[in-house]
Structures are given as C-alpha cells and as structure tokens.
Structure 1
Amino acid sequence: MVTYENLHDTLSFYNIDCRQSYYISSGNPIFDFPKAPFRMDYYALCICTAGEINIEIDSKKYKVDAHSFLIAAPSTIVRFLKTSKDFMMKLLFFDKNFLIKNISNPFIIEKMNLFSEGSYSIVKTAAKNSLQIQNLLDYLKKKSRKKGKFTEEIIRTIIFNLLLEAAEIIEKESSTRPEKEEGKKDLFLKFSQLIRENIRQHRTVQFYADQLCVSNKYLIEIIKKACGKTPHEVIDETLLKEAYVMLGNPDFIISEIAFELQFNSASAFGRFFKKQTSISPSEYRTKENIQS
C-alpha cells in the first residue's frame, strides 16, 4: 500500500507532471483513485458535476454528490473510498504563495472563512451556484492555456473570484454564526498556521503562546471562543492527522513514527493514538490492511 503524502505524488498517480503553482483538471471521468490517504500540500477546490463519491477527510466520512464542493487547505488528509460509475468532478489546486504574490496581507485566504471544519468545508449548493463555479473553472482552464504578459495576473484574479464565490456560498450556509472580533480572529488564524508548520517539532501550548507573544491563558480563551476547542485539543487533532498519514505508509515501523512525532517511546505514541481513536496503531493498520 502506497501513501501519497502530497499533491505532486498524487498527480503523478495519473501521470500528471505538475511543476506549476496551480493545476486545473479537465473535468473528464476518473476511473481510478489512489487507495491510500494523502496529505494535501496545495489549496484545493473540487466540485462534483455528476454521480457521487464517498470520501474520508481528516478521518471523517462524507458522501458528496452533484452540486457539492470541497474546499481545503494544505495539511488536510484525504482518502477516496468509493465512487459511482458516472462520477465526474472539476478541480483546482493552487499554491498560496502564487496567489498572494504582491498582496500585503498573508492571511487573506483565511479571512474569507472558507474552512468551517478547521482545514476544509464540504458544501451542498444550488445548481445555479454550482454552475457559476464550474463556469469559472472552465474560464480558468481556457486562460491557463494562453501564455501572455498578464496571464499570471488573470489567473490569480479568476482564482480569487472562485474563492469569493465559494466564501459567499459558505457564508449563507453559516449565517447564524456570530462574527468574531477582527484582532482575535487574526490570532486564531496565526495559531492555526503555526500548528500546521510546526506540529512535528512542537506540541506544547506554551510554544505557540510564546510565538504569538501572548499568555497561555489568553490563547486558551481566544481559541476556545474561535472554534470551541482548547489549543491543546487543536494540537492533538493536528498531531493525529500526521499519525494517520505516517501509519498509512508501510515503510514506517511504529517506533519510527513515534520518533518522528517527538514521542519518548512507541508505547507513549500508542497511548496517545488509542486515547484519540480507541484503537492502537497496530490495530489501525490491521483494520486498514496496511502491512509493513
């Protein structure tokens, strides 16, 4: 069983050599999918245009059908489970640094509130909204084929338009949620980004509080208000995602995974994993038929 740890590896499964900062699919039927979970290393927007797919995202299972879309940030872990014969989707992958070039606010994507589930959102929308997103993806594909002086800027503009359309749809779905104060929201966004970048090396709340120049108490208060979880719970969830990816790779033995994730021993890692999932790492591998 192979683990696709990033988008480049995943696209290579389809013989796609993606060396650009973005990739737009053709929308043609897909008959084969990677069986192993993989970690997204790009931002992604995928919309189902026909049929349905069963998918697992960050260990939660979903059924996605026509006029539903997924938008996800890097670090999201995806696993394809089952698709109908008529399943089709259009998708866009892009690198954040490409999109925000010449933009002063590095958190402009996060400020759109696109990720209701932490690092992703799955939304069922009306056919007219779905068609609007599909038309923009088609336009983006058309423009990406032409190489001109302003091609990159045009592509950035279309991607921003896509994200804003998605954000508007998501906002309507979650209009009952109270608005957060701007400064506190920025702190939550920075905390989330720091965790994604440092989870394998640092998992204490104190480290992140120090990086953000706030007290532990204040960080706990803000994160709790922003997402209903403590910083420690958010850290544990992110660490568990890393564990799932590494356990999906049969080349890693459990003691190596424990070492990579900064646990003192394999048994300490086992206790953490079982507390989060109710099964041991080896039981998880047996259940998923992952043989090292």
Structure 2
Amino acid sequence: MEVKIHSHCTSDFPSEFTTENYSVILWEGTGVFSVDQINYSYKKYNILFLSPYQKVKLAPESDEKINILFFHGDYYCIEYHKEEVACNGLLFNNIYLNPSIELSKEHYEYILELFNYIRKEETEKHPFSESIIKTYIQLILAIGSKQKSSIENSLIANEKLPNKNAAEFQKLLETHFKSEKELSFYSDKLNITNNTLSKAVKKEFAKTPTQLINERIILEAKKLLHLTYRSIKEIASELGFSDEFYFSRYFKKSVGCSPKKYREKVGISVVAKMSM
C-alpha cells in the first residue's frame, strides 16, 4: 500500500494502532490519546502525525469520525522533500514536541477536503493521480508545519522559557545519547540529583529522562535503518551497543518488531540510494 485513506468512528478505532507507514490522523472531539505510551489530552479539531511503528491509542469522550491518511516512505519521502516541507523534526521524528496540533475549524475542514480529494484520486487511478496525490500530501504537511511553527513561535514570544535543567538535559542528550544511557550521567553533568532532573524533565516534556533517552536511541536506530545501507551490526555499534543481539532485543522491546523486520517493512529510503 503506497497511499490510502481510512475513515472510522472513534468507537471502532483499535485499542492499539500501529503501522509501517507514515500516518496523519484527523479527527474532532475531546478526550485523551497516547503515542508510545505517553498520554496527551485533546479537544476540538485535531491532527496527529506518526512515523512508522509508533503506537497510538485513542480514548474519546464521545463517538466521533476519524480519518487516517497512510503513505509509505517510498511514496512520499519526508527526507527527500525536506526543503519544500519542513516537517521532518517538526511534525515527524521529534521526541520533545507533542505530536498533535489543535486546528482551527477552517484548517480542519480544509484538510478534510484534501483527504477527500486524495481518496477520489486514489480510487480513480488516473495517470496523473500519483503526482496530484503527492501535491495534496505536501500541502497537508505544509499546513501542519506552518501551524506547529506558529505555536512554537507564540510560546517564545510569550516568554515561556524552558526549565534550565530540562533544556540543558536536552542539549546533553543530543550530544551523548549514543554513549551514555544512564540517568546518573546527565544528573552528574548538571550537578543535581536524579530526582530533581526527573521532575524538571517530566514537567517540561511530559516524559521522564529515561523515556527520552530510550526514545532518542530508537529514533536514531530507525533513521539509520531507513536512511542507510549499514548492517544491523554496524548500527548497533554506532549506537553504543557492544552486542548486536542485545541491540535487537532492545529495539524490539520498544518498537514491537526486530530491526531486521523494521527495515524490511519500512524499506530503505531513496535518500540512502542517492547517497551511495
């Protein structure tokens, strides 16, 4: 399946949902959803962006219509199109931001209309349909990126400064996640206790430091599996695992499948093929 749109009632939504495709979920209502076991509340009009093999659960307060756009990484590669749509690291592949956006009614209805156009093109299978569908996907991602960026800029303008310890932890994690996987390394670097760091990080990112360390390693593993031709043994070594079998168990526990299966299902990106 290269691209597909499904529509459900939220009452029919599976208790846990995951796919090897990129997913954009559009719905309205009030309740709680979780991505990779992290809970977020939602209200009104919502759009959610998921990378392959992220796990999502939805707990709505009432039964509502939900629309899901699936597209395979080979069909619309966010790395390849990153200059046109700045969604990589903003909508997708960011462990620090809420993966959803609350939309205005106007934006919600417009994106829903784009979903319907994609469904129509996918059904008709016209010779130009693929190009048209890619343009619609690009537009959806561009709108999402613009909305997300404006939210981030608004928080900065309102002087919502991040907690200093949480911000420093994020910098340290980006520098050392491949070699340092223990919480104590980061709290020692910041000269604070594990408990103080955990409270600051949980308040800022709604996740514990240990969860972020794990997510950062898994995110990098997914990127290397999808964007390079490196062997699993080489990827394990780059991420600080002395044993590729331990790395495979670690990956499977978090993602739900082995690195080998992930690469088979998600595929190796055109980006990797172009860089050879």
What TM-score comes out, normalization by structure 2 length? 0.53
Q: Which residue number in structure 2 is paired with residue 91 of structure 1? A: 68
Q: Which residue number in structure 2 is paired with residue 205 of structure 1? A: 178
The answer on whether the counterparts of 1:76 and 1:120 sit within 8 Å (CA) in structure 2 is: no
**261, 267, 276: which is aligned to 2:249?**
261
Distance 1:262 1:162 in 2: 34
Q: Which residue number in structure 2 is paired with residue 24 of structure 1? A: 5
Aligned AA (2:3): Y
Aligned AA (1:154): I
Q: Structure 1, residues 157-184: CA drift from partner, whole Å, max 9, x if none?
A: 1101110011111111111578xxxxxx
Q: Which residue number in structure 1 is paired with residue 214 of structure 2? A: 236
Distance 1:60 1:233 in 2: 9
Distance 1:110 1:41 in 2: 18
Distance 2:22 2:247 in 1: 29
Q: Structure 1, residues 234-278: CA drift from partner, whole Å, max 9, x if none?
A: 54235689xxxxxxxxxxxxxxx9785259xxxxx9xxxxxxxxx
Please state how far the C-alpha of 1:114 moved relative to its aligned partner: 1.7
Distance 2:133 2:96 in 1: 26
Q: Which residue number in structure 2 is paired with residue 33 of structure 1? A: 13
Distance 2:128 2:111 in 1: 22
Q: Which residue number in structure 2 is paired with residue 172 of structure 1? A: 150
Aligned AA (2:122): S
SS of 2:49's equivalent in the other structure is strand
Q: Which residue number in structure 1 is paired with residue 233 of structure 2? A: none
Distance 2:69 2:81 in 1: 24
**109, 119, 124: which is aligned to 1:131?**
109
Please state how far the C-alpha of 1:63 moved relative to its aligned partner: 2.7
Aligned AA (1:78): V
Please state how far the C-alpha of 1:39 moved relative to its aligned partner: 4.0
Q: Which residue number in structure 2 is paired with residue 48 of structure 1? A: 27
From the superposition, tell whether residues 62 and 100 of structure 1 become closer, same or farther in structure 2 (CA, over 3 Å): closer
Please state how far the C-alpha of 1:155 moved relative to its aligned partner: 0.8
Q: Structure 1, residues 35-91: CA drift from partner, whole Å, max 9, x if none?
A: 3x4544221111113x334221122212333312111222422123x3334321222
From the superposition, tell whether residues 167 and 70 of structure 1 become closer, same or farther in structure 2 (CA, over 3 Å): same
Q: Which residue number in structure 2 is paired with residue 69 of structure 1? A: 47
Distance 1:29 1:262 in 2: 35
The answer on whether the counterparts of 1:53 and 1:65 sit within 8 Å (CA) in structure 2 is: yes
Please state how far the C-alpha of 1:110 moved relative to its aligned partner: 4.4
The answer on whether the counterparts of 2:121 and 2:133 sit within 8 Å (CA) in structure 1 is: yes
The answer on whether the counterparts of 1:114 and 1:167 sit within 8 Å (CA) in structure 2 is: yes
Q: Which residue number in structure 2 is paired with residue 246 of structure 1? A: none
The answer on whether the counterparts of 2:26 and 2:47 sit within 8 Å (CA) in structure 1 is: yes
The answer on whether the counterparts of 1:52 and 1:87 sit within 8 Å (CA) in structure 2 is: no
From the superposition, tell whether residues 118 and 142 of structure 1 become closer, same or farther in structure 2 (CA, over 3 Å): farther
Q: Structure 1, residues 96-149: CA drift from partner, whole Å, max 9, x if none?
A: 211139x57699664472245448621112111111211111111112111111
RMSD value, Cα:
4.3
Distance 1:23 1:146 in 2: 13
The answer on whether the counterparts of 1:72 and 1:119 sit within 8 Å (CA) in structure 2 is: no
SS of 1:261's equivalent in the other structure is helix
The answer on whether the counterparts of 1:41 and 1:75 sit within 8 Å (CA) in structure 2 is: yes
Q: Which residue number in structure 1 is paired with residue 196 of structure 2? A: none
Distance 1:137 1:130 in 2: 11
The answer on whether the counterparts of 2:86 and 2:145 sit within 8 Å (CA) in structure 1 is: no
From the superposition, tell whether residues 143 and 120 of structure 1 become closer, same or farther in structure 2 (CA, over 3 Å): farther
Distance 2:210 2:61 in 1: 39
SS of 2:153's equivalent in the other structure is coil
